[in-house]
Structure formats: structure tokens, C-alpha cells
Homo-oligomer: A and B are copies of this chain.
Amino acid sequence: MITVLATPGTLVAGAELALEEEEQHHLTVRRAREGEAVMLLDGAGCRGTGQLRWAGKVLSVAVDRVSREPRPPAVTLAVGAGDRERFALLAEQAVQLGATRIVPIETDRTANVATRVREGTLDKVRRRSREALKQCSAAWECAVAECVGLEQFLAEAPQGACWLADHAGSAAPSLGVSDTLTVLVGPEGGFTATERDRILSAAWVPVALGPHILRYETAALAALSTAWQARHRGDG
């Protein structure tokens, strides 16, 4: 079944849903037919089903049912603001693994990356992060924050558990089902020794995420997977 994104807050059972231009375009390209059943997600906790309606060249959805899901536990992935294409890919995968917010962190080793994520390029990352909801069928979208320097990020002291992805760390501590978590992952090449000392002195917990040295994308995904398992230990 095709999944269609709705503007947040617009899903109402029994109503006719107007579609954003981009969604109409996607459906037209996929040759969606009148009456075709679709799944609906608004990225703000609502999930629904409906049927497509063509009126001339304009597509809308007759909404059948809508259900609401509670907001998932807050998981922030703060990761070096390196190459923007790799960052966008990482954001797509992070959505699948339950990240609720992604923060691009400016570090010593991202400063000279010519293709790095910058303010002007974040809208594309946001679009791809939102598009990723379709594939993983998540009801809540993942926010993508503005770029922020490491010092400022540490000064703003996130609440809840704070993990630093670190090869020299220990296995992950357990995590309550609704605990807030922030995971900090260095850029390609890692944090510098000075940055790492600074992070550890701000009481971040170094957590090892695998047996070997990980690429930053792998570390970020392993951290999210680890967090999810840490919340659900004992279910198995």
C-alpha cells in the first residue's frame, strides 16, 4: 500500500484531505488510481487510512480512519556536521531507528569539510528525514535542528542520559522506557583529544558500541539500536 504524508494536524476521519504539492507529484509519478487505498502519516502522531480521489488533475484523500500514537521517548542524535549527502543518508536511517531529533555539531574536524552540512542545506535534510517516515511507517517525524558548535551544545546541557559514542567506553547502561537520551557522535576522524576531554569533563558517559573502531555513521546507528535495546531489555 502506498503511504502518503499529510500536513501535521490535518488528519480527520471522514474528511477530505488536501495533499501537499510534493505528495501529489509523487502519486502522479506512481500512477496512483482513483479509489486506491493509501496509508496516511502526518509526522505529528497521527496515522490513518483512506482512498485517493482525483478531481481533474488534483489529488486528495477521503480519510477513513485516524488513530493517534503517543510521542515516543526523546532520543537526540548529535553528530558531527560533515558531508551533507552522508548526513542526509544518516538522517534517513536514524529515523528508522527511533531518533526524534538530529543536531549537526560543528567540530574541529568538520570545519574544513567543503561539502559540510550548513544552515542553507538543512531543508533538504529535513525533507529527506520526513520522506523517510513513509518507508519505516513512523507516526512521529524526526526534527533536524540548526547546526551548533560543540561548545555551545555542551553549554546548553541536554537533559536525561548523555552518552558519548567512544571506542574506549563501556557497554551501554540500561535506560528506562521513557528516559530522555542524547547521544553524541564525533565526525569523520573523530573528536580531537581536546574535544573529547571537554566532553568527558561535562559528564557525558563514554559508551562502546561495538568490538572495533566504527565509522561515524555506523556508530550513530549502533547507538540508536543500543538505546532501543537498552529500553526493552527483559522483554525477550
A225 interface residue (CB < 8 Å to B): yes
Are A222 and B171 touching (Cβ within 8 A)? Answer: no
**Smallest CB gap from A93: residue in B:** B218
A173 interface residue (CB < 8 Å to B): yes
Are A96 and B136 touching (Cβ within 8 A)? Answer: no
Contact residues in B for A215 (Cβ distance below 8 Å): 93, 96, 135-136
Contact residues in B for A97 (Cβ distance below 8 Å): 210-212, 214, 218, 222
Are A170 and B236 touching (Cβ within 8 A)? Answer: yes
* Extra A-B contacts (9), CB below 8 Å, given A96-B218, A210-B225: A96-B210, A96-B212, A97-B212, A98-B212, A136-B212, A207-B236, A210-B224, A221-B225, A226-B226
Are A221 and B218 touching (Cβ within 8 A)? Answer: yes
Q: How many residues does chain A have at the interface if contact means C-beta atoms less than 8 Å apart?
A: 39
Are A236 and B96 touching (Cβ within 8 A)? Answer: no
**Smallest CB gap from A228: residue in B:** B210
Chain A residues 184 to 236 lying within 8 A of chain B, measured CB to CB, are 207-215, 217-218, 221-222, 224-226, 228-230, 232-236
Are A212 and B171 touching (Cβ within 8 A)? Answer: no
Copies held by the complex: 2
Are B229 and A172 touching (Cβ within 8 A)? Answer: yes
Are A232 and B96 touching (Cβ within 8 A)? Answer: no
Are B136 and A232 touching (Cβ within 8 A)? Answer: no
CA distance A229 to B208 in the complex (A): 9
A162 interface residue (CB < 8 Å to B): no
A221 contact from B135, B171, B211, B222, Cβ within 8 A: B222
A214 contact from B96, B214, B218, Cβ within 8 A: B96
A176 interface residue (CB < 8 Å to B): no
Contact residues in B for A222 (Cβ distance below 8 Å): 97, 221-222, 225, 228
Contact residues in B for A218 (Cβ distance below 8 Å): 93, 96-97, 221
